Structure 1
């Protein structure tokens, strides 16, 4: 199967428009149509229905999407690994939670380069649920995350704790903060439970986000009050953007390493996980 067929199928799933997919891929509409027909011939199933309201995937198309994305990912992984032959002995793919990479990535990569120079590293910044899925499919080899899911064949270990601090662009005490001025961070189910228990009066904020980068951006651009990681809080204070709300509670959050059991006893993975534990501490 040509990888272009999968690229075209995945793009059309996203756009639901043959013209838009042709523009995004830099090909003609007839080429998009030809590729979809070729894929349908290979699968012996119709994948899309075109009507006056647009293009919609069939049941077969919906079911095929997950497989198409998995095959494309496998292809990209294979190409990266083959290209590294002769330069490196092995490629390890690691996922890191969005809010954690600034804390662990730089020092950990320096350690890897110094102690395991023949090891190539691919880093994916993502959320816990997706990283766990990628570990089960083999798209990732190990991960550092907030929210473990206790699935068969997954091994987790708590390696550190994250501290979330309330910061504000204004000199305020906790009692002066109102929901209208508050950016409600949504980092994980664990964080949400702690926040709801400690600060029920700030649960109904008009602005909320689950991305730490977005929280920092909003604080810089429009001001307000929010919980951020201790690493981000330090950076924002150094920039002169925020101050810590001194009388606000701190929310402590466990950090976990995750690895599929097929790699649990791998010497390379054990060394990498020990180093991650040191960097995250």
Structure 2
């Protein structure tokens, strides 16, 4: 039995999919499958039920999962202990980023961290906020930038980067452009273009509509603010954006704050554990990168107020 076999086993168990697990551990799917089969032969039991579309654990797999996680954690702790003594940090960190978001201060933090600690390998992945939260909870993701419609997820530490209200953005000739106040009921009579589910903006909008028993017509979805603005500027739909997102398109669109949507869309960094020396150092670099508001000229996400630290500094 090898540590890499346990790593692949845990990856498949958490992803419930051999393809996604292979992408996560950065080898071919056939390689993951072969190693899992070898592990099953050594243990004398099948660990996964492969009959359904989603891969699920067998009884034997359920029994083995926590032990496999504990073994991998113990092996990682050995390297961390040696690193702390020698002053050299090694290992691997996975950083997640919600789809449709590109914050250059985060990239600056990763670059500074890499320069300071070249022995730590960094992986960067994009996913929905819900999946990133789950990844942080299970330990598959160490640090994640998520969009949220409320306070950060229970049980996780967080650094709020941006907190902004929603706006509707339309061309100057659109009827909504001439109104002084715009409510949800005013805008849901029109086709809407917005971010996809799993983003903070979409979560805020969906929850506000549900609260008022409104059923908006989501005609178009895009994960980039530029695409949403372009579609709205062409009259295809009204755009739902954040305040500073819409500010970048004042030459083409007129934006109104949605009066009856008080809940802000949050963009936050979340993490679960700071036991890893590498994770502690990464948090130091990300905290420094976000001490000042992101420069909108360097970012595709909205700028906002200075970050609100929701957790004790590691």
1:140 matched to which residue of 2?
141
1:276 matched to which residue of 2?
290
Shift of 1:269: 1.9
Change (3 A) 1:196 1:168: farther
2:42 matched to which residue of 1?
42
How many correspondences in the alignment?
A: 246
1:260 counterpart = 2:272: yes
1:243 matched to which residue of 2?
253
Residues 217-237 of structure 1 show CA distances to partners (whole Å, capped at 9, x for unaligned) of: 4664683112123454355x3
1:172 counterpart = 2:186: no
Change (3 A) 1:163 1:89: farther
1:115 and 1:57 map into 2 onto residues whose CA distance is: 37
1:155 counterpart = 2:170: no
Residues 169, 224 of structure 1: 8 Å contact kept: no
2:237 and 2:254 map into 1 onto residues whose CA distance is: 12
| Unaligned segments of structure 1, at least 5 residues | 17-24, 78-87
Normalised TM-score (structure 2): 0.52
Q: Of the candidates 205, 223, 235, which is equivalent to residue 212 of structure 1?
A: 223
Q: Which secondary structure does the structure 2 equivalent of 1:146 belong to?
A: strand
Normalised TM-score (structure 1): 0.57
| Unaligned segments of structure 2, at least 5 residues | 20-27, 77-87, 177-181, 295-304, 306-314
Change (3 A) 1:115 1:39: closer
1:117 and 1:33 map into 2 onto residues whose CA distance is: 35
1:127 counterpart = 2:137: no
2:107 matched to which residue of 1?
109
Q: Which secondary structure does the structure 2 equivalent of 1:129 belong to?
A: helix
Q: Which secondary structure does the structure 1 equivalent of 2:283 belong to?
A: helix
- The structure in which a higher percent of residues are helix is 1
1:264 and 1:127 map into 2 onto residues whose CA distance is: 25
Residues 179-204 of structure 1 show CA distances to partners (whole Å, capped at 9, x for unaligned) of: 4522355434444334555x765x33
Residues 92-114 of structure 1 show CA distances to partners (whole Å, capped at 9, x for unaligned) of: 54333334x32xx3234336646
Q: Which secondary structure does the structure 1 equivalent of 2:292 belong to?
A: helix
Shift of 1:150: 0.8
1:224 counterpart = 2:271: no
Change (3 A) 1:167 1:44: farther
